Structure 1
Amino acid sequence: AATPTTLSVTQIPLLGVNGSGILHVNLTGHIPGNLTDSLPKVSDPIVPDENFTDIFKETPERIKSEEHLANLTYDHHNFYNSSFIGNKDYFREYWANITIDKAEVHQVLSNSHRRATSIQLSFDFPFYGHNIRNVTVATGGFIYTGEHVHNWLAATQYIAPLMGNFDTTLTNDSNIKLYDDGEKFSAFWENVTLQENTTKKFTFAVTLYKNGDIIFAYKDIPIDVQEINDTEHPVKVGISDAYLTDKIVFYVRRKTIYEYHRVSFKDHLITNNTILKMTALPTCLQYDTCDSCLNHDTGFNCTWCPQIQKCSSGTDRNKQDWLLRKCEKTTIVNATSCPAREDAPTDTSGVPATGNTAYTTDQLAKHDTVVNI
């Protein structure tokens, strides 16, 4: 395998372009000198997709966990159902289950601040229905799921059990541990402290299951999540996804990130021994034929695009291809209109379409790239 190269991180000082709230990631431009001594400030510049107008809303009331399992309620979030569990016996059993095998301490993340490492999963994980194999685990209490690693990791395309300004360099017992058994992947933030307060230690975990389910487990939460300072780093609990659009502007390739869905649990009263469980719901992306797409069993309006041979609701990570191939004009909406045989177009170039992503890396091991954020 090729040896990873060390690049520097580009700083984006404004909230989007000219304050517009739109982030352009230049994947081809020249990267200036090493900026590791003045790391970019993580911000939140993402524009919502027009099809999802209520994704940023949060209720003013604090939502408490349910102690009695028989009384659990499930909230619907289009792509996921969620439940908030506060039964201590259930938590102890669950925590014992995900820690029965010893997770490996990640040495770099366990002695870092605002760092992240890219990990290759041993299985396809369907996130919002889109299968991913590579995730980026950050010291800041979250996992980045995007394909292009940049210095706005905390903005969108994240899975965040508790995103915050955690610094594992401040105490000797702070550890970030990782474990993958082929059926699930777990990341543990153990005895981590916020940079502004080393006396309060947090222990929590996130587990990604092969079927797409996501579980946040909170063992030790010493202060109210809403009291955590978000001046230097966003504080978020939840999940988010986005798509990228690609345009050539004055001979420069520009990528713009649009968030199309977010689930926030920051209004939940997260305490010791609580669990947030997200159950993945069927999406259009799981169907790979015209007939199955149009006979789908989802809560979405699935249509089939013959040009790209994909099933979609029109808003997902494939939206760039959907727009470029003008799928909205040629979509098949009735199963009786499906062609008898479908041959996927073949790329005869032999060269995959890829772009260079600018970020700081440290050579560690295969499939283990560290990113300064």
Structure 2
Amino acid sequence: GEASKVQSSAQGGERKSREVHAGDLTIDTLPDNMTHLVEDSRNYYTQRSFGPDDRRAGAFWVDMDDLQHGQVRMHGLLSNTHKQAARVALSFPFPFYGHYLKQITIATGGFIFMGDVTHRMLTATQYVAPLMANFDPSSAKESTVQYLDNGEVFVVQWERVRLHGRDSEGEFTFQAALYRSGTITFSYRDIPLSVEQIISGQHPVKAGLSDAFMVVKPSSKTGDARQRTIYEYHRVQIDTAKITNNCAFEFTALPSCLQHNSCVLCLSANQTLGCKWCHVLQRCSDGMDRHRQEWLDYACSEVVQLFILYVKSAIPKNTNRFASAGATAGVVAGVALLLALLVLALFLHRHPTPSHHLRQVGRDKIQHLHRNITDR
């Protein structure tokens, strides 16, 4: 089932979202006005389009009949059902918005769901959608959903699929390809209708990329249940007027904070990407990705700011560079310990437990260490 609710946003006003439950791969649609958008101005992908007169457009089409591409699989369930999706494992880790995915979910409706948690509103966000629409492969035996994986690229092809209840309007054939490098391409062979003519109230019609993070909170209905709320933080939309026969789109992934696996590399990318290093999670992030809940639970943004503040105030102003170097090393070691204790104190404060004595000891140590650093 599903439950709608209205919440207050940080900027004021109202935002709408929905509670979702995992485990059901039958798709219910979620209207756009029920999806909460969290604006993130950063660019994650560059986009290029290739019209039917551009020779490069044909190079993106993957010939599924060409044996050199490896084994092509026709998905029996998806080729004979409507509004269904199926999980498929990848032979290589695919980077999507900086997150490395090992599984994806192919849907009959012309898109790939990229989320970790499957639910009934797959059309809402976290998708790679060459042409999301109300396609019904079960309406004709010629309609199929195929895919191939050769270790370097994973391709999904919706072949000769028709719109639900609109068989006479023609057959659509198009592809989405996920490359090991993170590049994504959309290729279109047969598009009998313009996207404007496809639009209906029965199913969202979208084309592009989207990602979101999920926040889990205890449900107000029962003590044991958990409520999952989805927040879309970024979307790449393409000009649907450009979707025609024999055209293509290419999305090239840009550098992201998540690709940096050390503090030094993370901070070196800080000026361009706004990256921050969270010591306790050993993760580089700008705080706006799928791990946002963990980032907030461990107060990573607060700890990073305190770390910078203490380092700036504690570095000694000594003209003797050797003495200064030794003192600086001591300060850095002290600040590292302080950072760990700050994380512990903040985490315990946000996650109260009966162990009040442990929290008090942590606070006392932080205050004592702070005095030692400022006295240097």
How far is the alpha carbon of 1:299 from its aligned partner?
4.1
Q: 1:282·1:297 contact (CA, 8 Å) conserved in 2?
A: no
Pick from 72, 77, 85 the counterpart of residue 108 of structure 1.
77
Pick from 35, 48, 59 the counterpart of residue 83 of structure 1.
48
Give the aligned length: 301
1:92 partner SS: helix
Q: 1:238·1:266 contact (CA, 8 Å) conserved in 2?
A: no
How far is the alpha carbon of 1:24 from its aligned partner?
1.8
TM-score using structure 2 length: 0.73
The CA distance in 1 between the partners of 2:181 and 2:25, in whole Å, is 39
Match of 1:46 in 2: 35
Q: What runs of 5+ residues in structure 2 fail to find an aligned partner?
A: 8-13, 312-327, 341-376
Pick from 211, 229, 237 the counterpart of residue 241 of structure 1.
211
The CA distance in 1 between the partners of 2:277 and 2:161, in whole Å, is 46
Q: Describe the shift of the 1:110–1:325 C-alpha distance in structure 2 as closer, same or farther (beyond 3 A).
A: same
Letter of the 2:46 counterpart = N
2:141 partner SS: coil
How far is the alpha carbon of 1:224 from its aligned partner?
0.6
Q: Describe the shift of the 1:35–1:109 C-alpha distance in structure 2 as closer, same or farther (beyond 3 A).
A: closer
Pick from 280, 295, 315 the counterpart of residue 288 of structure 2.
315
Q: 1:26·1:253 contact (CA, 8 Å) conserved in 2?
A: no
How far is the alpha carbon of 1:51 from its aligned partner?
4.2
Q: Which aligned pairs between 1:148-187 and structure 2 lie closer than 5 A?
A: 148-187=117-156
The CA distance in 2 between the partners of 1:134 and 1:26, in whole Å, is 19
Q: Which protein is richer in helix relative to its size?
A: 2
The CA distance in 2 between the partners of 1:123 and 1:111, in whole Å, is 28
Q: 2:194·2:241 contact (CA, 8 Å) conserved in 1?
A: no
How far is the alpha carbon of 1:225 from its aligned partner?
0.9
2:229 partner SS: strand
Match of 2:233 in 1: 260
Match of 1:73 in 2: none
2:159 partner SS: strand
Q: Which aligned pairs between 1:39-78 and structure 2 lie closer than 5 A?
A: 40-44=28-32, 45-52=34-41, 78=43
Match of 2:20 in 1: 25
Q: 1:247·1:253 contact (CA, 8 Å) conserved in 2?
A: yes
Q: 1:283·1:298 contact (CA, 8 Å) conserved in 2?
A: no
Q: 1:139·1:166 contact (CA, 8 Å) conserved in 2?
A: yes
Q: Describe the shift of the 1:265–1:93 C-alpha distance in structure 2 as closer, same or farther (beyond 3 A).
A: closer
Match of 1:280 in 2: 253
Q: 2:133·2:163 contact (CA, 8 Å) conserved in 1?
A: yes
Pick from 114, 129, 135 the counterpart of residue 145 of structure 1.
114
The CA distance in 1 between the partners of 2:138 and 2:240, in whole Å, is 29
Q: 2:233·2:288 contact (CA, 8 Å) conserved in 1?
A: yes
- CA RMSD, aligned part only? 3.0
Letter of the 1:136 counterpart = T
2:290 partner SS: coil
Q: 1:109·1:176 contact (CA, 8 Å) conserved in 2?
A: yes
The CA distance in 2 between the partners of 1:215 and 1:96, in whole Å, is 10
Q: 2:28·2:122 contact (CA, 8 Å) conserved in 1?
A: no
The CA distance in 1 between the partners of 2:332 and 2:150, in whole Å, is 40
Letter of the 1:318 counterpart = H
Match of 2:102 in 1: 133
Q: Does 1:121 align with 2:110?
A: no
Q: 1:239·1:264 contact (CA, 8 Å) conserved in 2?
A: yes
How far is the alpha carbon of 1:338 from its aligned partner?
8.1
Q: Describe the shift of the 1:281–1:50 C-alpha distance in structure 2 as closer, same or farther (beyond 3 A).
A: closer
2:264 partner SS: helix
Letter of the 1:247 counterpart = K
Q: Which aligned pairs between 1:152-231 and structure 2 lie closer than 5 A?
A: 152-199=121-168, 200-231=170-201
Match of 2:361 in 1: none
Letter of the 2:216 counterpart = D
How far is the alpha carbon of 1:234 from its aligned partner?
0.3
How far is the alpha carbon of 1:265 from its aligned partner?
1.2
- Rg larger for: 2
Q: What runs of 5+ residues in structure 1 fail to find an aligned partner?
A: 1-9, 53-76, 345-373
How far is the alpha carbon of 1:96 from its aligned partner?
4.9
The CA distance in 2 between the partners of 1:170 and 1:240, in whole Å, is 29
What is the aligned-residue identity percentage? Answer: 39
Q: 2:60·2:185 contact (CA, 8 Å) conserved in 1?
A: no
TM-score using structure 1 length: 0.73
Runs (4+) of structure 1 exceeding 6 A deviation are 336-342
The CA distance in 2 between the partners of 1:90 and 1:118, in whole Å, is 32
Letter of the 1:231 counterpart = G
Note the alpha carbon deviations across 1:120-169, whole angstroms, 9 max, x for none.
10111110001111100000000001111000000000000000000011
